[in-house]
Amino acid sequence: MDKIEAEIRYLCVEANRVLNFIRNINANVGAVGIVPNLSYGLVAISPILPALRNSAFPIFTTKVSSGSAHNNPHIVGNNCLPLELLTADSQPSFVVVDGTRNTGGSGASNNKYPDSQQGFLNYAVAINDVITSGDINSFKGLMGVSSEHVKQLRDNEAYASMKISLEARFRETRPRVPYAFKYWNPAELTLAIYNHGEGCDRSTRAVQGREIYPEMQPTVFFVNSVMPNKYHSAGHNELWGKHEPGFFDDDNKAKEFAFRFDSRGVFIDSGLGDGVHKIYEGLFGGIR
């Protein structure tokens, strides 16, 4: 089988698990916004875009560069969560989707969440810092961060500027409770976290399905959609060949997926994406 087609099939398997994860959150917790981090995050959900659109999940693309986040524990994503989804009656959770080929390697540095997680985490810290009026103790445990990390962020110019912006945004519609921040991957592995800040964990286990329940705290779920080869089925390995984790985590390969936007959000337009939906339907049935 052609390598590109084989890797699209593995991409579909991973995306299907992400879809089931999103649906579990939606069924148990409530409203959820989908945030693919460009560029790999959009490729990662490309097989399930019709299902997400049909179910009217709001999809917001954003960009927090893993390169900029590397060795930068104080990076703050620039308005990287769609706060326009907040209303007086609804405080949605968010599923941020990204991926890295450094998943399933032999060492911790090659078995991790994308470094972009730091920008999303710190932005969520800023949200909580504002809505709790600076009460660090009320949210640090929800996010796995230390008091020292938050205090260091407060000395950061970009963070201080973001807080001013958030204060203005929340003047009329203010979230009821602080956000939790959790991690998940479709193989449910414990993966390393780098640049997580002083006094914070350096690795974290994936949130389990049973831990997603009604009345759960609104949460930002950071997803590494990539699965190592050994967590794909032996049958697929035999039919499709060995999987290369994060195969499309490459600018040149990712650019082969062409996307467009309309009033309902994002969809695949051309390029490698042309066959993705047909392959997905062949594996998992009609788009629903």
Q: For the residues of 202-237, what is the DSSP string, one character each?
A: SEEPPPPGGG--TTPPPEEEEEE----GGGS-HHHH
The residue assigned the tokens 């019709």 is: 50
Please provide residue 274's backbone torsions phi and psi, each rounded to the nearest 5 degrees: -55, -45
Predicted confidence at residue 104, as pLDDT, reads 73
Print pLDDT tens along the chain (288 aa).
Answer: 789 899 999 999 999 999 999 999 999 999 999 999 988 999 999 999 989 988 889 999 899 988 888 878 999 998 899 988 887 778 999 999 999 988 876 555 578 899 999 999 999 999 999 999 999 999 999 999 999 999 999 999 999 999 999 999 998 888 889 999 999 999 999 888 876 665 555 678 889 888 888 878 899 999 999 999 999 999 999 999 999 999 988 766 777 777 777 666 666 665 565 578 888 999 998 666
Q: Rounded distance, CA 274 to CA 269, Å?
A: 7
Closest by CA position to 60, among listed 89, 29, 92: 92
Closest by CA position to 59, among listed 70, 69, 72, 48: 48
Q: Rounded distance, CA 211 to CA 214, Å?
A: 10
Cα–Cα–Cα angle for 259, 182, 79, rounded to 5 degrees: 50
Instruction: Give Cα separations from 55 to 19, 33, 59, 128, 270 (angstroms).
Output: 11, 12, 11, 29, 23
Predicted confidence at residue 288, as pLDDT, reads 60
- Burial profile 100-130: b = 16 or more Cβ within 10 angstroms, e = fewer: bbbbbeeeeeebbbbbbbbbbbbbbbbbbbb
Our separate counts of H helices and E strands in the chain read 11, 8
Tokens of 27: 């069924």
Look up the pTM and report it: 0.93
Contacts of 274 (CB under 8 A, 6+ apart): 268
Strands (E), the chain: 32-36, 93-98, 180-184, 191-192, 203-204, 219-224, 257-262, 265-271
Q: Rounded distance, CA 201 to CA 84, Å?
A: 31
Please provide residue 267's backbone torsions phi and psi, each rounded to the nearest 5 degrees: -150, 160
Q: How many alpha carbons lie under 13 Å from residue 87 in its C-beta half-sphere?
A: 5
Predicted confidence at residue 165, as pLDDT, reads 94
For residues 246 and 101, is the Cβ–Cβ distance under 8 A?
Answer: yes
Start-to-end C-alpha separation, the chain? 28
* Number of domains, the chain: 1
Instruction: Please give the residue range of the domain that contains residue 212.
Output: 3-284
Per DSSP, helices labelled H in 29-156 are 40-44, 49-54, 66-69, 117-131, 140-143, 147-154
